[in-house]
Chain A
Amino acid sequence: DVKVTQSSRYLVKRTGEKVFLECVQDMDHENMFWYRQDPGLGLRLIYFSYDVKMKEKGDIPEGYSVSREKKERFSLILESASTNQTSMYLCASSPNRQVKKNTEAFFGQGTRLTVV
């Protein structure tokens, strides 16, 4: 069974803290994504990675960075957490389209981050 695992379901952090959100997938997928989801704004792409050590900015990368040292793991880093980064964070993975026809994304359960 396809599995994307996010390290925490709920996190509470203080303003200014450095925050790490971890995501691991066991499907050998090339692509991995970090989204945030807010009411009325839907899913917004923060960063994605299509290979180890490769990354591309999504639509809202400001205030975030990412790391992909191994194929199965994709980390989202909030360098200095702020209250406007309070959100649901979702990690997803998908296979490369050249490899498989079905390129749908598979999601983790999400991390509800609250910055106080």
Chain B
Amino acid sequence: QKEVEQDPGPLSVPEGAIVSLNCTYSNSAFQYFMWYRQYSRKGPELLMYTYSSGNKEDGRFTAQVDKSSKYISLFIRDSQPSDSATYLCAMSAPGNNRKLIWGLGTSLAVNP
């Protein structure tokens, strides 16, 4: 079993839809959770960063962490065609600060 599971999609939604992207994980020691966005033929860029449990909001993006279920989510409100990209989750545990464990990424297409 992989440490981090992420459905690769592809996910296709109409413009303006609410998008929900998810990852599950098995290592209860993970405390740092990140979402990266990667456009085609580019490097990933950090979108959201959360420490431990709870929610974090940044504009149209909300990151949620449920440590009891070992489940993290990224919500995109009012999705735009410019949100079309691959979204990768990543996480790490204290004491292992150099290595991130990555999901495979979910490919999202927002159609005008």
Whether A31 contacts B41 in the complex (CB less than 8 A), given A103-B32, A104-B34, comes out as: no
* Contact of A87 with B by CB under 8 A: no
Chain B: how many interface residues by the 8 Å CB criterion? 24
Is chain B's binding surface mostly helix, strand, loop or mixed? loop
CB distance from A31 to the nearest CB of B (A): 5
* Contact of B60 with A by CB under 8 A: no
By beta carbon, the residue of chain B nearest A31 is: B98
* Contact of A112 with B by CB under 8 A: yes
Chain A interface size range: 20 to 34
CB distance from A89 to the nearest CB of B (A): 10
Query: By the criterion CB–CB under 8 Å, are B97 and A96 in contact?
Result: yes
Complex interface bits, A93-116 against B, C-beta within 8 A gives 1, otherwise 0: 010111001111111111010000
Chain B contact residues, CB within 8 Å of chain A: 8, 32, 34, 36, 41-46, 49, 51, 88, 90, 92, 94, 97-100, 102-105
By beta carbon, the residue of chain A nearest B8 is: A40
A103: which of B44, B92, B102 is its contact (CB, 8 Å)? B92
By beta carbon, the residue of chain A nearest B47 is: A104
